[in-house]
Amino acid sequence: MDPILFNETFKKCTKLLALSILKFYSGLSKKDELRIIGKQLIRSATSVSANFRATCIARTPRERYSKFCVVVEADETIFWLEILRRKSSECQSS
């Protein structure tokens, strides 16, 4: 895939992820623990999107690598989603 096309596609996907997470968060229960974890989820998802955009305009390969390493941490977003799923099901069953 052409690098420019890849960058544009990935920028759109990560932005959609961030927007989807924001929408998801607004539908969460307002219990303190869910709200706190939800905010961590928002931070991680929006960070992935913002840092990928920064990789696209990096001035040096070193700067690009540094920003891309943050994007690779998208696994944190998955972690928070897993925690929320488990916590939500606990809250519903109580």
Q: How far lies 53's CA from each of 29, 88, 92, in Å?
A: 31, 32, 38
Count structural domains, the chain: 1
Continuous segment of H or E residues that includes residue 19: helix 3-26
Find the helix or strand (DSSP H, E) in which 53 lies. Answer: helix 32-56
Q: pLDDT for 12-60, tens place per residue?
A: 999 999 999 999 999 988 889 889 999 999 999 999 999 999 999 999 9
Q: What is the CATH number of the domain that holds 31?
A: 1.20.1440.60
- Specify the pTM: 0.82
- What is the radius of gyration, based on Cα positions, of the chain? 16
Asked if pLDDT for residue 68 goes beyond 90, the answer is no
Q: Which domain does 31 fall in, by range?
A: 3-93
Q: Which residue has the tokens 């960070």?
A: 47
Say what the pLDDT of residue 92 is. 67
